[in-house]
Amino acid sequence: MDTRGYSMKVLVQPWLAYGHISPYLELAKKLSERNFYIYFCSTPINLSTVRKKLDHKYLLSIQLVELHLPSLPDLPPSHHTTNGLPAHLMTTLKTAFDTAANSDFPEILRTLTPDLVIYDQNQPWAPAVASSHNIPAIQFLTFGAAVVSFGLHMFKNPGEAFPYPEMTRSRNFKRSTVHGTGKQPSGDEIMKEVHRFLESVNRSCDIILVKSFREIEGKYIDYLSTLAEKKILPVGPLVEDRVDMSEDENSKDIIQWLDKKEKSSTVFVSFGSECFLTKEEIEELAYGLELSQVNFIWVVRFPVGENVSVDLALPEGFLGRVKERGIVVEGWAPQVEILRHSSIGGFVSHCGWNSAIESMKFGVPIIGVPMQIDQPLNARLIEETAGIGVEVRRDESGGLQREEIAQVIRRVVVEKDGEGVRTNARKLSESMGLKKEEEIDGVVDELLRLFRKGK
């Protein structure tokens, strides 16, 4: 491929989870539209998904580059992704990913000679290898600045209160599980991940990119810059373009069903690709949706290997009682297309950062049901800082309650006392629309400056 007409050649390498791959791909698209040539590097199983999301217009400016990990008896190439990965193999996958530092990754850099590497948060070896080839590398964080600054603050200033108390107001919360399992990470495992993350931050050249924007995270972006001692550049929302659903009958049926509903009358219910509700949580959520009397589309997922049917997981008679105003979908639904639909008036969400940003982009207020990792802090930001959602309070043991779920849904979508939340969500969306792509243009200027500095 002749890359001589491009201003820079950039290799991007996300972690092997779709929640990371998706924003990296959207960043790659934005950069390629600004005369950057992109090498998108991941495992073949992940690239098979990426390939389906690349329009023809990107075929000349984004090249997919395969990263091969060792094929182990319990980790064949089909498992070189977190999507559908059995929970007990997550550590094995991370170990296999690290082997790329001494095998595939150096050879990829030697062959492609990119001008810059953009890497993820848990691969400190990527900037180290790039540096050995005299290639600058910068980190792109797919988490929000509030969450990352909170984590860095806790590590660098133990015992000292986080300067933004709205982020630390306590909630009953019982789940800190990883990848939908009940296994709690050990102290050693947590510290190992913390040190990997800190190394990744420290090795980023001059700047760090973060999937965010100043309207809601300005003060956290500034504080993160102080803690990391780097310039923090928000890249904007990076929400996927419209999805082609012409050959997906199930998705078309969902949108046609929404077309018949009144404006802002329906909630979308989804907990991402790696959060799974317990049987008790499914039951409470089902009754909560029923009690709310609000239309809904609910995406239900089960861990790979669990032979569970939707019918048996839901309360007896539930589907019959809600058939006029609710759809239950197993596995997947076109989230972006649903959220942008005028009939959607609320999003019952785990508050994963990608989902939260998509909701903000389309002005949809959030009913927060955080589950794990960064989600509780994202829920704080959504409710306390941005004022665009309300978190569902749990009981004293941390469990969900159907009455509380129904009450929050009705408040956010229907009732008068939720008008402020709805207005804030709409105004934030309008503000994001007016800014268009100012953030990414600023990122391009900084990347070109970094490139010229190295010449």
Q: Which of 79, 104, 115, 120 is catalytic?
A: 120
- Asked whether 406 and 291 are in contact (CB, 8 A), the reply is yes
User: What are the DSSP E strand ranges found in 228-313?
Assistant: 231-234, 266-270, 295-300
- Is-catalytic flag, 341? no
Tokens matching residue 288: 């909560």
Q: Strand 116-119 to strand 207-210: parallel, antiparallel, or no bridges (unpaired)? A: unpaired
**Cα–chain-centroid distance for residue 341?**
20
d(CA 253, CA 257): 6
- Asked whether 304 and 86 are in contact (CB, 8 A), the reply is yes
d(CA 319, CA 267): 16
Sequence-distant (6+) residues with CB within 8 A of 92 are 72, 74, 75
Residue with tokens 């009913």: 367
- What interhelical angle do 438-453 and 18-32 show, nearest 10? 80
Q: Which of 20, 80, 179, 341 is catalytic?
A: 20
- Is-catalytic flag, 20? yes
- What interhelical angle do 214-228 and 419-435 show, nearest 10? 70
- What interhelical angle do 18-32 and 44-52 show, nearest 10? 50
d(CA 313, CA 322): 15
Reference 126, options 76, 196, 192; nearest CA is: 196
- Asked whether 269 and 294 are in contact (CB, 8 A), the reply is no
Could you list the active site residues? 20, 120
